[in-house]
Amino acid sequence: NAGVTQTPKFRVLKTGQSMTLLCAQDMNHEYMYWYRQDPGMGLRLIHYSVGEGTTAKGEVPDGYNVSRLKKQNFLLGLESAAPSQTSVYFCASSYTGARTGELFFGEGSRLTVL
């Protein structure tokens, strides 16, 4: 079972460059999430989606955009990368949502912005 797959796993960007992280899940989950993890901190929610075609802001949405054109995919975009966006990004999905069910996480994407 593939579960939640993130691409790419590693990426180095220069300040001002743009990129997109792709999250794909094969569990037919309605809910999908993008988190970032920084040293010494827990995960923080960037954006999330409660179904195809929907997106919503999380705790730290500034500088990021997302799209959920297909149920199985959730894209995270950085239009103009900044060094403060250096982090490990985790995608997660859930069948019933964070309130009622567990989240399944991808393996993470490590992004470095120089």
Per-residue x/- marks for other proteins, 72-91, CB under 8 A? Answer: ------------------x-
| Nearest residue (CB) to other proteins, 48 versus 64 | 48
Smallest gap from residue 59 Cβ to other proteins (A): 6
Smallest gap from residue 104 Cβ to other proteins (A): 7
User: CA-CA distance, 61 to 3, in Å (whole number)?
Assistant: 25
Contact by Cβ (8 Å): 61, 79: no
User: CA-CA distance, 83 to 111, in Å (whole number)?
Assistant: 10
Measure Cα distances from 38 to 26, 52, 87, 90 in Å.
27, 28, 6, 11
C-alpha atoms less than 13 angstroms from C-alpha of 55 in its C-beta half-sphere: 18
User: CA-CA distance, 81 to 98, in Å (whole number)?
Assistant: 29
| Nearest residue (CB) to other proteins, 9 versus 70 | 9
Task: Based on the shown chain and the rule CB under 8 A, indicate whether residue 45 belongs to the binding site for other proteins.
Answer: yes
Q: Specify the stretch interacting with other proteins by CB under 8 A; choose among 16-24, 65-73, 77-85, 104-112.
A: 104-112
Question: Where along the sequence are the contacts to other proteins (CB under 8 A)?
Answer: 31, 33, 40-45, 48, 50, 56, 58-59, 90, 92, 97-108
